[in-house]
Structure 1
């Protein structure tokens, strides 16, 4: 049996696409891009997505910020951890990006470190690093 990483894609549901894009670009120090889907061009609304960078030749998962009619941001039970070289560096940008720290960088023993924070849409998100 082949062993694979269990996560292949994630979606973070948001209310304000531009505000959420700005938040994640600042905190994660990366560039997000709009994903054009058939729903994006639909005049009745539908689904809008902005994707995180992805390299199919690297391990791990990518995903998107998603605005979809009928799906509210925040308060869900999904928690996504983004890889970080050092949680404290990325965590330091959360307040500047208008998010809120829930739990500052803490040790999880042999598994490294995590930080937990809320984005501008009320979603709790994590960072994970080995140092």
Structure 2
């Protein structure tokens, strides 16, 4: 028996990058969106520069940003974030055209649809998910 939940478990994500301009160009080209600057709060730690993905705060799903901060490195082996897509093969092709690398072409995952995995221009592995 599963427990009833009132929200999705992920509320925000940050993808850390070395070259913010290069990463912004990659994600904008891959998803056909425009990222916007976000004023990060002064937490007393190293300053962080952020560019947010388009978000609708009243909608379901997690919002997030690309982030550049001293001492935090991008790369594989950490958390894998899946972006929702209409058809993940389209975004995988766009990612390759934008300088990324397709690690796993579109593949079926049974009743849950399809996924593809791509490496962005910063070395981060991201997932693409679609129902078709």
35, 42, 54: which is aligned to 2:38?
35
14, 18, 31: which is aligned to 1:11?
14
Structure 2: 5+ residue runs without aligned partners? none
Residue 38 of structure 1 and its aligned partner are, at CA, apart by: 4.4
Residue 76 of structure 1 and its aligned partner are, at CA, apart by: 3.9
Q: Larger deviation: 66-75 or 102-111?
A: 66-75
Residues 1-131 of structure 1: pairs in structure 2 closer than 5 A: 2-39=5-42, 46-131=47-132
Structure 1: 5+ residue runs without aligned partners? 40-44
Report the TM-score, using the length of structure 1 for normalisation.
Answer: 0.91
For each residue in 1:43-99, what CA deviation from the matched residue of structure 2 results, as whole angstroms up to 9, or x when unmatched?
xx6110000111012110110100000011113411000010001111111111000
Report the TM-score, using the length of structure 2 for normalisation.
Answer: 0.91
